[in-house]
Structure 1
Amino acid sequence: MDKNKASMTLVSITAILLLLCGAFFTMGGIVNTRSTIPSGLYWKVDKPLGIGKTVVFCPPNRPEFQEALNRGTIGPGNCPDGFDSMMLIVAAKFKNRVTINADGVYVNNVLYPNSKPLAHDRDGHPMALPTIENYELKEDEILLMSNIDEDAFDGRYFGLIDVEQVDSVIKPVLQW
């Protein structure tokens, strides 16, 4: 009888955990295990795009994203063009001035931390480097960067993104 009770308790706990997980994802929860932002649980929030905000976006169908997919830098997923969504930080937006060159990414003439591009990826493939010189972002453009991973595939390699690519602003619930 005790064995049967323990088994029923375990089944009940498992069912409750599955329901909670399902509710978390259905209501806007996201689990991040990538290195571009801290790993953890995130929640979609109804906040405007702003400098320093973390966003989830679907990469546009451009050659640099196709190449990243082919190399395994980004994965296949449910975005309209077959890419997995990505999570990065808004580094620049409307009216900010951006320079991207071999020295790094500058926003309003200030070097963004850990933004010096690598000449080659981890497998030795050459990395594309967009060159942008003192460009003022238009209302529909943003620059997305990692704030923790100097090897991240971010704006230093793919340049600017249209704000329409952004799915949502997210905030951390629990990080590890």
Structure 2
Amino acid sequence: MSIPRPIVAAVGMLAIVVVGSEVAGLHLNHTASYPRGLWIETSGSDDRLPYVLACADHVADFETYKERGYLPWGMACSGTAPLLKRIWARPGDSWSVTPEGVVVNGELVSNTRPLEYDSAGRQLIPATGGTVPPGHVLLLSDYSPRSLDGRYFGTMPITQVLKEVKPLWTE
């Protein structure tokens, strides 16, 4: 019995991504936070709002987010995949969550209006905001209005940021 070519191709691509992630700094984004596809590690870009991969396993409601399926399975972050977000605020920046969305240093970030309920009807509780403390960052997605990000879990230690990435091949 021969294996169909699409299956061989899919397994081959998966092997490239798994091996490539260790060798070439590749990351397969399969969430809706930013375009799905391959992202590649970069260092020291001049982007004011860099894309980063970060572990959410130290945020207060991590277990709840994991149980509800908001965090995809992975190996890097206590059984979940890293989040793909942008750093929108750094130490000393002010931020708040309003009914219209997250405001950073007086500017509204698009697509960050907090939702009251998830798609299963479970209540979502937004963070309150404040000043980003030393050693922390605020991670948000301005791409997806349904993203799990700082609008719900607040700031996180910069040590949770694994690497900076940029799109390589996305939908």
Are 2:157 and 1:162 aligned?
Answer: yes
Shift of 1:23: 5.3
- DSSP 3-state at the match of 1:79: strand
Between the two proteins, the alignment pairs up a number of residues equal to 162
Q: 4+ runs of 1 displaced by more than 4 Å?
A: 17-23
* Unaligned segments of structure 1, at least 5 residues: 1-9
Aligned residue runs from structure 1 range 61-72, under 5 A: 61-72=58-69
Aligned to 1:108: 105
Aligned to 2:148: 153
Aligned to 1:54: 51
CA contact (8 A) 2:70 2:148 kept: yes
- DSSP 3-state at the match of 1:114: coil
Deviations 1:10-41 (A, max 9, x none): 9xx97xx6685565322211111210011121
Task: Tell me the TM-score normalised to structure 1 length.
Answer: 0.80
- DSSP 3-state at the match of 2:139: strand
**2: distance between equivalents of 1:102 and 1:64?**
21
Q: Identity of paired residues, percent?
A: 23
Task: Tell me the TM-score normalised to structure 2 length.
Answer: 0.82
**1: distance between equivalents of 2:61 and 2:16?**
38
**1: distance between equivalents of 2:96 and 2:17?**
42
- DSSP 3-state at the match of 2:39: strand
* Unaligned segments of structure 2, at least 5 residues: none
**1: distance between equivalents of 2:125 and 2:109?**
19
More helix by share: 1
Aligned to 1:5: none
CA contact (8 A) 2:43 2:164 kept: yes
Are 2:20 and 1:24 aligned?
Answer: yes
